Structure 1
Amino acid sequence: MAQLTPEKFKVIGFSQEEANRIDRPTISYWQDAWRRLKKNPVAMVSLVVLGLLVVLVIIGPYIRGYDYIAMNVVDKNKGSSAQYWFGTDNLGRDLFSRIWVGARASILIAIVATILKLVVGTLYGAAMAHFGGWVDDVLMRIIEVINSVPYLLVTILIMMVLGNNLFALLIALSITAWCNTARQTRGMIKQLKESEYVYAAEVLGAKPSRIILKHYIPNMLSILILDASTAIPQFIFTEAGLSFLGIGLKAPAISLGVLISQGQQTMDFYPAQLFYPCAVLCIIVMAFNLLGDGLRDALDPRLRQ
């Protein structure tokens, strides 16, 4: 029987060198995460929608050329038309421009509150896990005390003391939100603390602050990104709910919650004044949530192939 050798086979479509290769190009963790995110159509559509929303909150108030503050009682309570795309409110102000100004305020509040949540929670949790012992016990008891107080009660007290302004709202949103981030950070760093590179840094005399900033946090970026992607829509929805109930921002300040509250007062006769800000709020929150789901799948190292 004739012996089969590689020379007797002809490779079609590839060179012999390419056909014999069984490896694939080495890609980084973040490149692989982006590759898997692009394969998720729902996440990519949400990313495109969020990009369009960002553009609209920047240039939206100026597209129609109407002043979103100036009142025009002659055109009050107008419906959707070529002149006023979303109609006007009960004082004749262009609702299209006001909605994008309100969306800008709501998104900025959510982003700032998320940054405060991540910074405070990460540093607090890192301190608990790195030092351990009695420091960990004391700091954990503080978190338990904060979490034991009802969130809505804390929010009402803060807004009563500091007033219905942007600074007070940011404090109210962030006062307890960082606790979950601190718990999550503590658990992650408890695992990272046993790593050889952390032990080597301690032996070389690195300060705790350097170990936290140079070793712990870079290895937690994926977790922090996921935390941010879920925190932003939560803060947007919470701000809208507080302003709707009259606890958060109040007119003349403009946010989606304030516009929904004003639209609720006229919904029986002019439902469009409630529908449009609610629709924009739902689209923003849904897009962030769907993108967060896609990021969770893309950043999970257990799903790498």
Structure 2
Amino acid sequence: MADTNVATAAAAAQTADGFTPEDFKVVGFTQEEANRIDRPTISYWADAWRRLRKNPVAMGALVVLGILLVMVIVGPYLRGYSLVDMNTADRNLGPSAEYWFGTDSLGRDLFSRVWMGARASVIIALVATAVKLVFGTLYGAIMAHFGGWVDDLLMRFIEVINSLPNLLLVILVMMVLGNNLFALLVALSITAWCNTARQVRGMIKQLKESEYVYAAEVLGASPLRIILKHYVPNMISILILDASTAIPNFIFTEAGLSFLGIGLTSPEISLGVLISMGQQTLDFYPSQLLFPCLILCIIVMAFNLLGDGLRDALDPKLRD
């Protein structure tokens, strides 16, 4: 009875003011259309891709990396010249229509050799990055998940490795295993995983207190399943950023080691080896040093610019 009186009084007040409920209807839309939320709900990854596309520098770097990837695959065979056969009649030629990057001191086509060297450098960087991420993630997850004496013991092991000079470890590994691809991968990966392990350890210590992790433990899930099913998916954006910065670092490190004669050596082909060979003829034939350095700089710069764009796109604080 009281509700009826209130409604009657409200209607009377509206009528007295000269307004009726029909005066407040939305013009041009139905009630359902007016209440509908037009902005679609998108996922975290769709939003990250949308923001990455708005970054012209990052998208330009992505396009350049795509072109470089194609050239790394087909470039060594594009001209049809042998990578190892010597042609003394065409030694030390400059760039021309026949030899786009010129030839080296043994008459070999520099264009084909540069792209083969870029392929070797990229493969080394990708494999070393994969080892760094996989081993570092598992190592850090074990430390954080079990905690206690396991965490203390494994953390002390990381501190011991980090206390040793990295260059000294690389030289020792290359001396023991020789100047080959496997030895270089071991030398590059032997300490690189430590930073990933520390980063993963810190993130998992926060994730460990989550309710879904506690529920998985109560249901009897194994530690490996918890790590792969619950921890890793929540860290994938951080791991992608780690990979985007690790790849150019590995490429540049490989080139530096090979240039100094510590990494790969001739007849192996990599950008570092080609730069080292080009440095010997710099005074008379600068193109033999210019083109390997140019390709190295483009690859490293493209990865760094893409990494900066990914960092901004994957940052949840920048979501709008």
* TM-score after normalising by structure 2: 0.91
5 Å-filtered alignment, 1:278-289, equals: 278-289=293-304
Query: Which residue does 2:193 correspond to in 1?
Result: 178
Would the aligned equivalents of 2:64 and 2:302 in 1 still touch at CA under 8 Å? Answer: yes
Query: Which residue does 2:218 correspond to in 1?
Result: 203
Q: 1:172 to 1:6 in 2, by over 3 A?
A: same
Would the aligned equivalents of 2:76 and 2:111 in 1 still touch at CA under 8 Å? Answer: yes
1:216 to 231, 247, 255: 231
Q: Distance in 2 between matches of 1:134 and 1:174?
A: 26
Give, in angstroms, the shift of residue 58 of structure 1: 0.4
* 2:136 maps to 1:121: yes
Q: Distance in 1 between matches of 2:221 and 2:181?
A: 40
Deviation track 1:215-238 (CA, whole Å, cap 9, x = no partner) reads 111111101111001000000000
Q: Distance in 2 between matches of 1:278 and 1:187?
A: 38
Q: What is the DSSP-based 3-state SS (H/G/I as helix, E as strand, rest coil) of the residue aligned with 1:194? A: coil
Would the aligned equivalents of 2:26 and 2:34 in 1 still touch at CA under 8 Å? Answer: no
5 Å-filtered alignment, 1:253-268, equals: 253-268=268-283
Q: Which amino acid aligns with 2:121?
A: S
Q: Which amino acid aligns with 2:200?
A: T
Q: Distance in 2 between matches of 1:184 and 1:176?
A: 14
Q: What is the DSSP-based 3-state SS (H/G/I as helix, E as strand, rest coil) of the residue aligned with 1:190? A: helix
Q: Distance in 2 between matches of 1:64 and 1:209?
A: 49
Q: Distance in 2 between matches of 1:255 and 1:149?
A: 28
Q: Which amino acid aligns with 1:216?
A: Y
Query: Which residue does 1:5 correspond to in 2?
Result: 23
Give, in angstroms, the shift of residue 201 of structure 1: 0.4
Q: Distance in 2 between matches of 1:52 and 1:216?
A: 35
Q: Distance in 2 between matches of 1:8 and 1:299?
A: 39
Q: 1:190 to 1:245 in 2, by over 3 A?
A: same
Q: 1:262 to 1:8 in 2, by over 3 A?
A: closer
Give, in angstroms, the shift of residue 5 of structure 1: 3.3
Q: 1:6 to 1:70 in 2, by over 3 A?
A: farther
Pairwise CA RMSD: 1.5
2:284 to 269, 277, 280: 269
5 Å-filtered alignment, 1:181-192, equals: 181-192=196-207
Q: What is the DSSP-based 3-state SS (H/G/I as helix, E as strand, rest coil) of the residue aligned with 1:5? A: helix
2:259 to 244, 249, 266: 244
Deviation track 1:149-176 (CA, whole Å, cap 9, x = no partner) reads 0000000000011100000000000000
Unaligned ranges ≥5, structure 1: none
Query: Which residue does 2:317 correspond to in 1?
Result: 302
Q: Highest CA radius of gyration, 1 or 2?
A: 2
Q: Distance in 1 between matches of 2:218 and 2:64?
A: 49
* 2:87 maps to 1:75: no
1:234 to 245, 249, 255: 249
Query: Which residue does 2:157 correspond to in 1?
Result: 142
* Ranges of 4+ aligned residues in structure 1 off by more than 3 Å: 1-11, 15-23
Q: What is the DSSP-based 3-state SS (H/G/I as helix, E as strand, rest coil) of the residue aligned with 1:81? A: coil
Give, in angstroms, the shift of residue 63 of structure 1: 1.1
Q: What is the DSSP-based 3-state SS (H/G/I as helix, E as strand, rest coil) of the residue aligned with 2:82? A: coil
Q: Distance in 2 between matches of 1:231 and 1:53?
A: 18
Query: Which residue does 2:121 correspond to in 1?
Result: 106
Percent pairwise identity: 78
Unaligned ranges ≥5, structure 2: 1-16
Query: Which residue does 2:11 correspond to in 1?
Result: none
Q: Distance in 2 between matches of 1:164 and 1:128?
A: 34
Number of residues paired by the alignment?
302
Q: Which amino acid aligns with 2:205?
A: K
Q: Distance in 1 between matches of 2:18 and 2:301?
A: 66
Q: Distance in 1 between matches of 2:175 and 2:244?
A: 30
Q: Distance in 2 between matches of 1:241 and 1:36?
A: 35
Q: What is the DSSP-based 3-state SS (H/G/I as helix, E as strand, rest coil) of the residue aligned with 1:110? A: helix
2:81 to 55, 62, 66: 66
Deviation track 1:84-141 (CA, whole Å, cap 9, x = no partner) reads 1000000000000000000000000000000000011000000000000111001000
Q: Distance in 2 between matches of 1:16 and 1:50?
A: 50
